[in-house]
Amino acid sequence: NMPLAEVVIDKAEHLKFIDVAFTGVDHIPMEAARKKGIAVSNASGYATQAVAELCVSFMIQLLRNVNKTEKRCRTGGTKDGLIGNLLCGKTVGIVGAGAIGKRTAALCKAFGCTVLAYNRSKITDASVDRQVSLEELLSSADIVSLHCPLTEETRGLVGRKLLALMKPTAFLINTARGALVDELALAEALGQGRLAGAGLDVLTQEPPEPGNPLLSAQNCVITPHVAWAAKEARERLIRIVAENLRRYQEGRPQNVVS
């Protein structure tokens, strides 16, 4: 998923098809591909379950103080002051109700959560209790989970203004794209106790620079973009990419994003 330079598209005179082995295509110069009539397919759906499961894992880790209690245990400490909370009964807000957002919603419903969702188009999914505005979702949810694509409209979406709407007891989960979040604003909110915690699988720069403020932020669980990295998801990815190519060669392209 390294960025593909636009000059590559310009110079590749015989290029007809780009088969992306990921869901996101924000690393592809899509406009340049469109201008040259180059088809682009992605591997949408390969990691839906894998990402949704990690989202729920983050929720439980944060609610049950897993990082803090583990450190206590390794140093001979106790659970004193670290009694956690259940996921059951919490209100979860899903920002972006695509396939992964909906699957995360379904898993949360199985745990007994109330699920709110914000999406630009109408949601018809049994796992979502109510479709609400972004502002209502942020102010009402105990846990906010980001599942929207990175576009110029969504870049920096969750900054100081929107973070200020969240409950001080709430958690933010991001397994979508790091640049959806203003990292300095999030670190400040965590440090000042205006947000209870965060679970992040993505950052604006990966791997992060040593000075990234989230690396030392309070109650922040960070993983290095591994939400997709399950053996079963990888196998599904390979099958989808191969099928994309076969279908394109037969003149029946699938998973086309351009």
Which of the residues are catalytic? 177, 206, 225
Q: Can you name the residues that pair with 39 across neighbouring β-strands?
A: 17
Is the N-terminal amide bond of 208 cis, ω within 30° of 0? no
Which element (helix H / strand E) includes 41? strand 39-41
Strands 130-131 and 143-146: unpaired
226: nearest Cα among 206, 212, 255: 206
Region at 143 (left for phi over 0; alpha for psi -120 to 50; beta for the rest) = beta
Q: Does residue 196 contact residue 168 with C-beta atoms inside 8 Å?
A: yes
